[in-house]
């Protein structure tokens, strides 16, 4: 079953960060990412400070550092690309280990590297301490349209089922000797995908019937009463505030 | 005579593609009775079930649940009274956690706080699933899903339970647990099933549906004992199963 992937991003725990209302966490996370992204690249001390704040949050969240590092692998492709900048960028050159590199390009690499790692870390902490369904609940409370958060919630619920269906279809195709090697042999894949789509659509209708049968009238009842408290907002504001203040100070001094 | 829990008369219904799924369907079920709806695939059993709470609306005929006609303005109350357990539990369990799923129905009825929590707790205990309350529905086993799906409608405190193929895909232990749960419930039950021993075990009365109408009914043991009748409607007992012997053991 593909069900195991449902919690790939979430690390179960009971830390202060885990218990925070999702809306406060998301708002603080978003504000922090914006502040990190707008920090001038030359202010290396500011990035060190951002990293220190993040490390403190990771500790408070009781997330194992390995958990964060492993998930940071997602930024690798971007970072790998960034390492080509010094070779292709123009301007003043510096010699590193006998190779002439663009000074501006080196700053560019640093800029991408620092911001990608720090920004992704913020997302990893938010996703690692908030169950997926509560993330969408938080977005809803931050006034993201209900239609969008509902679609996302249902997608999350049924994604594993649809993936399972696709996998079974693929096994069934292979069992009947289908082993495509060329693009023109892909037609059965397309029709299988079409069949899964139609089945998903029909499932949607059945789910809707099941909802109507239990008195659904168009709005989801508010069941998750764990909203962000004043203390949650204060904690979020403190973290985001420190990061933003650092970014502002860096912008003023450079 | 006991009061009628369900009264359906002369139901006619066609799907948009023109297929006539119900063609003069009549059925009366007394309060507290357990009735098995038997019949081949495509006979109209599920279509009938969807008329009991107004998801489908008949072109002709009437359905009443107790003293209420299944129609506006009473549809909300009808949907509270009729608990429909769908064939595929995955269609019924759409919320992120079991607890929220069981709470969905009563919350739509306007319940909140302690009253809502109590309903959810009682429903989960009734089906023996209190220990999975905080799990995600897609992480449950087939048997657990089926029982939780039952809990989602029990939480609405319905008068009538309608179960569509409740034993399909269950292993023998899951099936036995379901029988035990259903026998412990006081509600009127209409059970759509191809599992004839299950029908015999649970329901005192059986109704055979074919071509969109009721074609035969009687005591379950008698209906299942009529080999000719079963054959005429594509129903078959499992190899070696003798309903007369099986019902003697009860």
Measured CA to CA, the distance from residue A139 to residue B240 in angstroms comes to 58
Q: Which residues of A touch B55 (CB under 8 A)?
A: 209, 212-213
Half-sphere exposure of B182 (CA within 13 A, CB side): 30
Q: Which residues of B touch A224 (CB under 8 A)?
A: 100
Query: What pLDDT was estimated at residue A1?
Result: 37
Chain B nearest CA to A142, separation (Å):
19
> Is B231 buried (19+), middle (13-18) or exposed (0-12) by CB count in 10 A?
exposed
Chain A nearest CA to B246, separation (Å):
35
> In DSSP terms, which residues pair with B213 in a beta bridge?
B210
Instruction: Report the candidate in B63, B20, B39 with the shortest Cα–Cα distance to residue B193.
Output: B39
For B232-241, write each residue's pLDDT tens digit.
999 999 988 8
> Mean pLDDT, to the nearest integer, of A47-56?
96
Q: Give me the residues of chain B with pLDDT under 70, please.
A: 1, 249-250
E strands in A89-152: 93-96, 99-102
Measured CA to CA, the distance from residue B111 to residue B103 in angstroms comes to 9
Tokens 């009947």 correspond to A176
Query: What pLDDT was estimated at residue B250?
Result: 60
**Given a cut of 70, is residue A2 above it in pLDDT?**
no
Contact B234, B221 (CB under 8 A): no
| Residue A82: C-alpha distances to residues A85, A105, A106, B60 (Å) | 5, 9, 9, 70
Nearest CA in chain B to A161: B138
Do the bridges between strand B205-210 and strand A99-102 make them parallel or antiparallel, or are there none, so unpaired? unpaired
Contact A118, A43 (CB under 8 A): no
Q: Phi and psi of B240, rounded to 5°? A: 80, 0
Chain B nearest CA to A139, separation (Å):
15
Is B152 in contact with A214 (Cβ distance < 8 A)? yes
> Is B116 buried (19+), middle (13-18) or exposed (0-12) by CB count in 10 A?
buried
Cα B129–chain centre separation: 19
Extract long-range pairs of A149-153: CB within 8 Å, 24+ residues apart.
A150/A220, A153/B96
Chain B interface residues facing chain A, Cβ-Cβ under 8 Å?
50, 53, 55, 76, 79-80, 82, 84, 86, 88, 90-92, 94-97, 100, 103-105, 107-109, 136-139, 152-153, 156
Could you say which DSSP state residue B165 is in?
S
Is B96 in contact with A131 (Cβ distance < 8 A)? yes
Classify each residue of B168-203 as buried b or exposed e, where b means 16 or more C-beta atoms within 10 Å of its C-beta.
eebeeebbebbbebbeeeebbbbbbbbbbbbbbbbb
- The three-class DSSP label of residue B80 is helix
Contact B218, B206 (CB under 8 A): yes
* Domain parsing of chain B, residue ranges: 4-248
**Given a cut of 80, is residue A5 above it in pLDDT?**
no
Q: Which residues of A touch B84 (CB under 8 A)?
A: 210, 213
Q: How many degrees, rounded to 5, is the angle at CA A94 between CA A89 and CA A95?
A: 115
- Residues with Cβ < 8 Å from B150, sequence gap 6 or more? B85, B127, B161, B163, B166, B178, B181, B182
Measured CA to CA, the distance from residue B244 to residue B221 in angstroms comes to 7
**Given a cut of 80, is residue A225 above it in pLDDT?**
no
For A80-125, write each residue's pLDDT tens digit.
888 888 888 888 888 888 888 888 999 999 999 999 999 999 999 9
> In DSSP terms, which residues pair with B63 in a beta bridge?
B8
Contact B167, B193 (CB under 8 A): yes
The shortest CB-CB distance from B107 to any of A157, A210, A221 is to A221
Region label for B77, one of left (φ > 0), alpha (ψ between -120 and 50) or beta (otherwise): alpha
| Residue A125: C-alpha distances to residues A25, A55, A128, B57, B146 (Å) | 9, 10, 5, 50, 36
Query: What pLDDT was estimated at residue A98?
Result: 82
Query: What pLDDT was estimated at residue A4?
Result: 41
> In DSSP terms, which residues pair with B23 in a beta bridge?
B12
Is A6 in contact with B88 (Cβ distance < 8 A)? no
Which of A3-7, A54-58, A146-150, B156-160 bottoms out in mean pLDDT, i.e. has the lowest? A3-7
| Residue A1: C-alpha distances to residues A161, A171, B77, B89, B146 (Å) | 9, 13, 39, 16, 18
CATH of domain B4-248: 3.40.50.300
Measured CA to CA, the distance from residue A240 to residue B136 in angstroms comes to 32
Predicted complex: ipTM over 0.85? no
End-to-end CA distance of chain B: 25
Query: What pLDDT was estimated at residue A153?
Result: 85
Cα B244–chain centre separation: 25
Measured CA to CA, the distance from residue B236 to residue B39 in angstroms comes to 10
> Mean pLDDT, to the nearest integer, of A198-224?
86
């Amino acid at each position: 079953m593909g069900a195991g992937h449902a919690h790939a991003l979430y690390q179960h725990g009971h830390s202060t960060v885990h218990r925070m209302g999702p809306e406060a966490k998301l708002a603080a996370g978003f504000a922090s990412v914006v502040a990190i992204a707008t920090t001038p690249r030359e202010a290396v001390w500011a990035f060190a400070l951002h990293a220190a704040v993040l490390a403190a949050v990771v500790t408070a969240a009781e997330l194992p550092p390995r958990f964060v590092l492993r998930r940071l692998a997602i930024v690798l492709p971007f970072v790998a690309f960034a390492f080509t900048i010094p070779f292709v960028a123009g301007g003043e050159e510096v010699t590193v280990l006998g190779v002439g590199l663009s000074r501006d390009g080196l700053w560019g690499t640093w800029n991408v590297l620092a911001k990608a790692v720090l920004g992704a870390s913020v997302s990893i902490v938010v996703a690692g301490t908030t169950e997926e369904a509560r993330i969408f609940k938080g977005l809803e409370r931050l006034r993201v349209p209900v239609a969008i958060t509902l679609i996302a919630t249902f997608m999350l619920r049924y994604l594993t089922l649809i993936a399972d269906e696709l996998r079974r279809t693929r096994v069934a195709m292979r069992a009947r000797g289908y082993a495509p090697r060329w693009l023109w042999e892909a037609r059965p894949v397309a029709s299988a995908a079409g069949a899964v789509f139609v089945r998903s659509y029909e499932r949607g209708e059945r789910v809707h019937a099941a909802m109507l049968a239990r008195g659904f009238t168009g709005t989801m009842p508010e069941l998750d009463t764990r909203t962000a408290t004043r203390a949650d907002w204060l904690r979020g504001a403190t973290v985001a505030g420190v990061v933003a203040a650092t970014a502002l100070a860096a912008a003023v001094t450079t | 005579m006991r009061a009628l829990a369900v009264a359906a008369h002369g139901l006619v219904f066609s799907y948009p593609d023109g297929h006539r799924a119900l063609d003069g369907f009549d059925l009366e079920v007394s309060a507290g009775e357990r009735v098995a709806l038997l019949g081949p695939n495509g006979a109209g059993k599920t279509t009938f079930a969807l008329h009991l709470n107004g998801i489908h609306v008949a072109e002709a005929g009437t359905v009443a649940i107790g003293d209420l006609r299944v129609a506006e303005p009473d549809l909300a109350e009808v949907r509270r009274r009729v608990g429909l357990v769908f064939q595929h539990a995955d269609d019924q369990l759409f919320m992120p956690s079991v607890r929220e799923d069981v709470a969905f129905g009563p919350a739509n009825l306007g319940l909140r706080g302690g009253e809502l929590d109590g309903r959810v707790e009682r429903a989960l205990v009734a089906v023996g699933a209190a220990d999975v309350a905080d799990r995600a529905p897609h992480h449950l086993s087939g048997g657990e899903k089926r029982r939780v799906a039952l809990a989602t409608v029990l939480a609405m405190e319905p008068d009538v339970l309608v179960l569509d193929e409740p034993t399909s895909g269950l292993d023998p232990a899951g099936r036995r647990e379901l029988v035990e749960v259903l026998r412990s419930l006081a509600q009127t039950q209409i059970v759509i099933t191809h599992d004839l021993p299950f029908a015999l075990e649970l329901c005192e009365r059986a109704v055979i549906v074919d071509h969109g109408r009721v074609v035969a009914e009687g005591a379950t043991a008698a209906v299942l004992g009529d080999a000719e009748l079963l054959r005429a409607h594509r129903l078959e007992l499992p190899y070696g199963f003798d309903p007369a012997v099986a019902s003697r053991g009860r």
